[in-house]
Amino acid sequence: MKLQARTHAQTIAFVLMTGLLACVPMIGIYPYFVMQALCFALFAASFNLLIGYGGLPSFGHAMFLGTAGYASAHAAKVWGFPPEAAIILGTLAAAGAGVITGALAIRRQGIYFSMTTLAFAQMLYFFYLQTPFTHGEDGIQGVPQGIFLGLIDLSKVLNLYYVVLGIFLAGFVLIYRIIHSPFGEILNAIRENEPRAISLGYKTERYKLAAFVLSAGLAGLAGATKVIVAQNASLTDVHWTMSGEVVLMVLLGGLGTIYGPILGAFIIIAMQQYFAGFGQWVLVIQGLIFIACVLVFRRGIIGELAHALKIRL
Amino acid sequence: MNTQALFAQLLVGLINGSFYALLSLGLAVIFGMLNIINFAHGALYMMGAFCAWFLLNVVGLNYWFALVFVPLIVGCVGMVIERTMLKRLQGLDHLYGLLLTFGLALVIQGVFQNYFGSSGLPYAIPSQLTGGQNLGFMFLPNYRAWVVVFSLIICLATWYGIEKTKLGSYLRAATENPQLVRAFGINVPRMITLTYGFGVALAALAGVLSAPINQVRPLMGADLIIVVFAVVVIGGMGSIMGSIVTGFLLGLLEGLTKYFYPEASNTVVFVVMAIVLLVKPNGLFGRT
């Protein structure tokens, strides 16, 4: 009975969110802002899958966002890929990077895992800074948006908006399914008590790597979509500040909650837009939010709300 | 082969190695007592360099005063941070310490960037250490020689202090079992605060040493700290001597790479990290 009530609540929340997002172009909100926020929301949700449900605190997640961005930008611009193929290629590139870095990083636990992922991300940053196809500081600019599936012209804002919304929702539902699948339950068990999971016969390394690759791939989906929206891929997306930003989005919204990362992403992106003219004060504010989150509300906005209203998430 | 250039790069490597060693040593000392990875370490290193610049240009105290006062001043800032914030994280997952200090680093760097932009401020080499020696196979600037020797002395003194003195034995005991050490009447919370202050002071000292070589820039620590993290993953934080040796060795390796294959000089430390993770996942000197 209780479980059923919970599923109902989830369905209502999902329908509400979808409805709200579908109405955005009609109620006069700037669609580019929402599209950007949706890409970051998917990025944050993919990161939450890893840290909130897998218990793997990566501090280099920007490498997947940026890798996918560069791959799809290059494919769309230089090789003339249609947008869907470019996005798929970007996603695969990020998942591939996830296989290599993940296999190495999961050999260490906890804080060392964070430092290892951060170091790999920095290594990739230097690689993208030096390799010619990314055009260094300039980035890949003027990426064509193209015709989605040969039918939908993405240079029209409304078309682009609903395609991005569709990709976001698909990613979101996939993450929801992963979390509530037997695989997700095993991940949960590993996070809570790894030695016990091992003693029950689970090859925990494999599950952790699978979670890492899934998360990397979904972050790549977000990065590739973001490139089609913004029409450029740049070094900002692979920089460590981006890795920190996604941690902040998830922490602010609520670690290990389904909707937390999405709320967190919208808040942080809105804040960046609002304070865009204030130079580096944005960083200072972000830092202060980090400190406040850790010291005052560790469960994040959604988590604290649920706690106050005694809702089990 | 151009030996002049090779030795010049090796010297640069040794200098960088000195900073890696001082910083990873501080990280290891802090981690041992507080179980926190101090992400703000790079920002505090930068603060050390700026503090030296202020002392020289605003207060009028020269390099030698800075060498003494800056670690004390920044160390005190560190102790305030520990007392007001880090203290509340005891018993929580290590991740929260990393997140909090990451936030701190953003705040400190952001504030300095707002006031000083991203460009560098020059800091003159102290007059006693200008010039250099011609060793025949290379030209050795006096200041650079001083940085390497002085860092080595500080590192070894720290190692001696922690591994061989009575105070150090309290420290090591408190790392292993704080409750028990407390039961013997030692004020462990104060020891934790002082330890954090000391680790931060080491970072600030590295900042002062670096000011005349690298310019004083708000982002000078941000670029460095990630490499230092890789150094820490390679060495493992279990051993004090391990941090020192790894720091200097990786600096040298970076110098060699700069000479033989400059394109990879930014990434070589990370490649070594990947190899170490494959071969010896706990790090070269790691215990667990």
CATH of domain B3-113+135-279: 1.10.3470
Q: Is B40 at the interface with chain A, CB within 8 A? A: no
Confidence of residue A138 (pLDDT cuts 50, 70, 90): confident
Residue A7 has pLDDT above 80, yes or no: no
Nearest to A145 by CA among A80, A100, A189: A80
* Segment A171-186, tens digit of pLDDT: 999 999 999 999 999 9
A61 contacts A76 by C-beta, under 8 angstroms: no
Tokens of A242: 């981006």
Quote the mean pLDDT of chain A.
Answer: 89
- Chain B residues in contact with A120 (beta carbon < 8 A): 270, 274
Nearest to B49 by CA among B103, B137, B123: B123
ipTM of this complex prediction, to 2 decimal places: 0.87
The residue ranges of chain B whose pLDDT is under 70 are 1, 287-288
Residue A126 has pLDDT above 70, yes or no: yes
Query: Which of A241, A283, A289 to mutate to probe the B interface, most B CBs <10 Å?
Result: A283
* Segment A63-80, tens digit of pLDDT: 999 999 999 999 999 998
Q: Domain A2-308 - what CATH class?
A: mainly alpha
> b/e map of B62-97 (b: 16 or more CB within 10 Å)?
ebeebeebbbebbbebbbebbbebbeebeeeebbbb
The pLDDT, as a whole number, for residue A1 is: 43
Chain-chain contact of B114 with A240 (C-beta, under 8 angstroms): no
Chain-chain contact of B113 with A110 (C-beta, under 8 angstroms): no
Residue A211 has pLDDT above 60, yes or no: yes
Tokens of A206: 């494999």
- Chain A residues in contact with B95 (beta carbon < 8 A): 57, 110-111, 114
Q: Is A192 at the interface with chain B, CB within 8 A? A: no
Burial level of B58, CB count in 10 A (0-12/13-18/19+)? exposed
d(CA A119, nearest CA chain B) in Å:
6
Give the torsion through C-alpha atoms of A54, A57, A59, A60, to 10 deg: -20
Query: Which of B85, B113, B226 to mutate to probe the A interface, most A CBs <10 Å?
Result: B226
- Percentage, residues of chain A above pLDDT 90: 51
The pLDDT, as a whole number, for residue B195 is: 92
Nearest to B19 by CA among B144, B176, B167: B144
Chain-chain contact of A287 with B114 (C-beta, under 8 angstroms): no
Chain-chain contact of A288 with B103 (C-beta, under 8 angstroms): yes
Nearest to A297 by CA among B78, B99, B252: B99
- Chain A residues in contact with B96 (beta carbon < 8 A): 294, 298
Residue among B105, B106, B229 whose CB faces A115 most closely: B229
* Segment A280-313, tens digit of pLDDT: 888 899 999 999 999 988 889 988 888 888 776 6
Chain-chain contact of B106 with A110 (C-beta, under 8 angstroms): no
Residue A97 has pLDDT above 90, yes or no: yes
**What is d(CA A121, CA A134) in angstroms, rounded to the nearest whole number?**
16
Chain-chain contact of B226 with A118 (C-beta, under 8 angstroms): yes
**What is d(CA A131, CA A159) in angstroms, rounded to the nearest whole number?**
34
Chain-chain contact of A283 with B109 (C-beta, under 8 angstroms): yes
C-alpha A45 chain-centroid distance: 5
Residue A252 has pLDDT above 80, yes or no: yes
**What is d(CA A303, CA A306) in angstroms, rounded to the nearest whole number?**
5
Residue A108 has pLDDT above 60, yes or no: yes
A135 or B135, higher pLDDT: A135
Confidence of residue A256 (pLDDT cuts 50, 70, 90): confident
DSSP assignment of chain A, as one string? -HHHHHHHHHHHHHHHHHHHHHHGGGGT--HHHHHHHHHHHHHHHHHHIIIIIS----S-THHHHHHHHHHHHHHHHTS---HHHHHHHHHHHHHHHHHHHHHHHTTS-HHHHHHHHHHHHHHHHHHHHHSGGGTGGG-EE-----EETTTEETTSHHHHHHHHHHHHHHHHHHHHHHHTSHHHHHHHHHHH-HHHHHHTT--HHHHHHHHHHHHHHHHHHHHHHHHHHHSEE-GGGGSHHHHHHHHHHHHHH-TT-SSHHHHHHHHHHHHHHHTGGGTTHHHHHHHHHHHHHHHT-TTHHHHHHHHHTT---
Domain residue spans of chain B: 3-113+135-279
Query: Which of A48, A107, A115 to mutate to probe the B interface, most B CBs <10 Å?
Result: A115
d(CA B118, nearest CA chain A) in Å:
10
- Chain B residues in contact with A290 (beta carbon < 8 A): 99-100, 102-103, 106
